[in-house]
Amino acid sequence: MAVSPGAGYSVGMKDLSDTAPDEGSLAATPLIDADHERVRAFAEEQAGSLDSNRERAVALYYAVRDGIRYDPYELSATIEAMCASATLDKGRAWCVPKAILLAAACRALAIPARVGFADVRNHLSTERMRRHMNTDVFFWHGYTAIRLNGQWLKATPAFNIELCDKFRLKPLEFDGTEDSLYHSFDREGNRHMDYLHYRGEFNQVPLDAILATFAEHYDFGDVEGGDFEADVERETGAGR
């Protein structure tokens, strides 16, 4: 797992959950690079012609959810690999870069957005991931907090619709009026996702804190480079 050296990305950061939007919730940063030409073009193409911020945010949510394939084996944790523009170029990412991209696209259209994090127990895992993570807890799972009609809404664009259909998961919908959070059970009634602890919502990505937690709990080793969907399909029998 490639990582960025400590760059002060957690120094002085505090949880801004439910606080009023500020300049930081609209600003471009090295990771949330809302001023990048590629990000601006993506936001404009997907939602620029719509009338309201709610409609724009909803369109951007689905563009990120389904246009970027969820891939937890894509675990490079450098600024260059995780920034929104890089995720657009690759077309696949794990939950945190997808949340970063949605935040950047919202900011590119002047919609206040932050990145939020929670620790979750994810029952959609693979033997390869369990071997290196030593747990089914995903620390610092990423989502996007979007300011619409005077309230912050949680939007989780991680699992694309093809993945949900393939593995009988309930896709997360977002209508711009309510939070979009993982379902506890899949379509068959099996445990899917449990929220264990909310870590907060931030104008910048607390990358140093994320990497410190990963180093404490995980040993990713050779988890990169595999085929996540193929592994899940083989282990669960999905598609048979």
CATH, residue 97: 3.10.620
Please give the pLDDT value at position 221.
59
CA 55, CA 50: separation in Å to the nearest integer? 6
Residue 104 lies in a domain: yes
Identify the pLDDT of residue 199.
Answer: 94
Tokens of 118: 């929670």
Matching residue, tokens 């601006």: 40
> What gap in Å lies between CA 98 and CA 91, rounded to an integer?
10
Asked whether residue 4 is domain-assigned, the answer is no
**pLDDT, position 122:** 76
For residue 196, which amino acid is it? Answer: L
Q: What's the rounded Cα separation, in Å, for the pair 127 and 95?
A: 19
52 found inside a domain:
yes
Long-range (24+ apart) CB contacts under 8 A made by 169-174 are: 169/124, 172/65, 174/57, 174/58, 174/61, 174/62
pLDDT for res 49: 97
CA distance 36 to 30: 10
| Range of the structural domain that residue 90 is part of | 23-220
pLDDT at 66: 97
Q: What is the pLDDT of residue 2?
A: 52
Instruction: Show the low-confidence residues of the chain (pLDDT under 70).
Output: 1-12, 123, 183-186, 188-192, 220-225, 236, 238-240
Q: What integer pLDDT is reported at residue 238 of this predicted model? A: 60
Does 151 map to a domain? yes
Specify the pTM.
Answer: 0.90
Residue 160 domain flag: yes
Task: Report how many domains make up the chain.
Answer: 1
Q: E strand or H helix at 233, and its extent?
A: helix 228-236
Asked, for residue 208, whether it belongs to a domain, the answer is yes
For tokens 């909310």, the residue is 198
In a domain, 8, yes or no: no
Q: How far apart are CA 52 and CA 59, in angstroms?
A: 11
Q: What pLDDT does 223 receive? A: 55
Domain-embedded: residue 81: yes
Residues 6+ apart with CB under 8 A from 106: 43, 56, 57, 60, 112, 113, 144, 146
Write down the residue that tokens 């084996």 correspond to.
Answer: 73
What pLDDT, on a 0 to 100 scale, did the predictor assign at position 165?
86
H or E stretch covering 209: helix 207-217
Q: Are the C-beta atoms of 121 and 167 separated by less than 8 Å?
A: no
Which of 54, 35, 178, 165 shows the shortest CA–CA distance to 108? 35
